[in-house]
Amino acid sequence: MSTKIIILWVIAVILVTAIAISLSFFMHKPAEPVEYKNKIPMQKTEVGGRIKLPEPRYESETSVEEALSKRRSIRDYSGENLTLDEVSQLLWAAQGITAPWGGRTAPSAGALYPLELYVVVGDVEGIDKGVYKYSREEHELEKVKEGDIRAELADAAGGQECVRDAAIDIVFTAVYERTTSKYKTPVYEERTGASYLRGIRYVHMEAGHAAQNVYLQAVSLDLGTVVIGAFMDDRVKELVNAGEQENPLYIMPVGRKG
């Protein structure tokens, strides 16, 4: 091949490449924004507004034995969103109704059900930040406060960072009178001579049952949680807009494991 032909070939290749590059530049379309496949639209709710929770699932691949052996207190979270399905499942595990007469996932002395649940929402796909009260009968959330209060709740819990970093915090409160009105017999503390009503003891036991349900459900959902018992009662009560008769007993931060 003569030198002339080689030079012509090189020029032709350079020209074709230049034309291809300029064509691709002019024909280039900006990339479409990436859409999450299952992204659900944000349900903006006013205070007093209600959100229907998805129906919980009643089966899973995780056996009770597996959940028990994996249960651990987890305080480090990734900062990712939870889904509304996961929130629904956790609340159902704590206090969901499982019998036509109102029986629930956790036992209750005299079936008097003294517990109430609040969800402090930070990062949940589909619902805005705020405080919501769980309505068991309808399996719904009712908004009781606007805005993200996780940092203030963490301050009320002595600065425990897991409360601030979790996607949600479930706050357990109890109305003692629902149980003490029936279980009034005093229990005496022999050492100090003090007495208290048996019903109070029952209420604390019930908070433990419901919290353990959340721990086990979190294992099954591959989420992390911990029970928080150290906090300023009055401040927590004020932060979640709890009723006059309600007493906060536990905060359970929940998030994806960090």
Ligand X SMILES: Cc1cc2nc3c(=O)[nH]c(=O)nc-3n(C[C@H](O)[C@H](O)[C@H](O)COP(=O)(O)O)c2cc1C
Q: Which amino acid type is present at position 29?
A: K
Site for ligand X contains 99 (CB under 6 A): no
How many other CB atoms sit within 10 Å of the CB of residue 70?
14
What residues between 57 and 76 interact with ligand X by CB under 6 A?
72-73, 75
Site for ligand X contains 257 (CB under 6 A): no
Rounded to 5°, angle at Cα 214 from 211 and 217: 155
Total of residues contacting ligand X (CB under 6 A): 9
Site for ligand X contains 156 (CB under 6 A): no
Site for ligand X contains 51 (CB under 6 A): no
Report the residue number, 27 or 230, with the smaller CB distance to ligand X. 230
| CB contact at 8 A, 156 and 239 | yes
| CB contact at 8 A, 129 and 148 | yes
What residues between 188 and 247 interact with ligand X by CB under 6 A?
226-230
| CB contact at 8 A, 107 and 179 | no
Report the residue number, 1 or 230, with the smaller CB distance to ligand X. 230
Strands 247-256 and 186-188 come out as unpaired
Nearest approach in angstroms of CB 133 to ligand X is: 23
| CB contact at 8 A, 117 and 133 | yes
Residue 195 half-sphere exposure toward CB, CA atoms < 13 A: 6
Report the residue number, 108 or 160, with the smaller CB distance to ligand X. 160
Nearest approach in angstroms of CB 222 to ligand X is: 16
Site for ligand X contains 84 (CB under 6 A): no
Report the residue number, 160 or 247, with the smaller CB distance to ligand X. 160
The helix or strand, by DSSP H or E, that contains position 18, with its residue range, turns out to be helix 3-27
Nearest approach in angstroms of CB 77 to ligand X is: 13
Residues that bind ligand X (CB under 6 A): 72-73, 75, 160, 226-230
